[in-house]
């Protein structure tokens, strides 16, 4: 059986992201997707704008599908016709902005976590913190 993200995993990750957002005094949204980019769980903190869950989900979707942090995807999205086409095929739901990272277990991408609502750098920091040992950044 291949590794996969479980609801329990997703709830734990979301809990860490919520706690960090609250510690920073931020009203964010958090989404966790599976390796295909399908939604497992999404939450919107009190006071967060209504569209933040869609942003978090879109960031996570791209990070899972391309198995790279959404920051990397954002850096090349304007000139990458494949990314643009895949986004259109997915109803333009993918968000090419920093704030999501892929999740790996046993070297296999099992999903991604995305955060929206606090700015790209802060969103990414919260996502990385929440991902914990499931995030393995690329080696330079």
Report d(CA 139, CA 87) in Å as an integer. 27
pLDDT tens sequence across 16-43: 999 999 999 999 999 999 999 999 999 9
Q: In whole angstroms, how far apart are CA 56 and each of 14, 96, 99, 140? A: 12, 11, 8, 26
Report d(CA 85, CA 121) in Å as an integer. 26
- Whether domain 7-134 has CATH 3.40.470.10: no
Q: What is the pLDDT of residue 76?
A: 87
Higher pLDDT, 78 or 112: 112
Which residues are within 8 A (CB) of 133 and not within 5 positions of it... i.e. 6 or more apart? none
Strands of 100-105's sheet, edge to edge? 39-44, 29-34, 108-116, 100-105
The gap between the terminal CA atoms of the chain, to the nearest Å, is 31
Q: Which helix (H) or strand (E) holds 114?
A: strand 108-116
Average pLDDT over residues 118-127: 97
Confidence label for 115 from pLDDT (cuts 50, 70 and 90): very high
């Amino acid at each position: 059986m291949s590794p996969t993200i479980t609801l329990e995993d997703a709830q734990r990750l979301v809990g860490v992201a919520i706690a960090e957002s609250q510690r920073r005094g931020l009203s964010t949204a958090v989404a966790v997707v599976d390796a295909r980019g399908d939604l497992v769980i999404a939450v919107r903190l009190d006071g967060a704008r209504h569209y933040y869950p869609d942003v978090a989900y879109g960031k996570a979707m791209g990070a899972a599908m391309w198995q790279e942090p959404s920051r990397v995807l954002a850096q090349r999205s304007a000139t990458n016709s494949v990314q643009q086409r895949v986004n259109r095929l997915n109803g333009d739901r993918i968000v090419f902005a920093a704030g999501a990272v892929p999740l790996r277990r046993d070297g296999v991408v099992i999903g991604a976590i995305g955060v929206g609502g606090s700015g790209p750098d802060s969103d990414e920091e919260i996502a990385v913190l929440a991902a914990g040992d499931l995030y393995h950044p690329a080696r330079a």
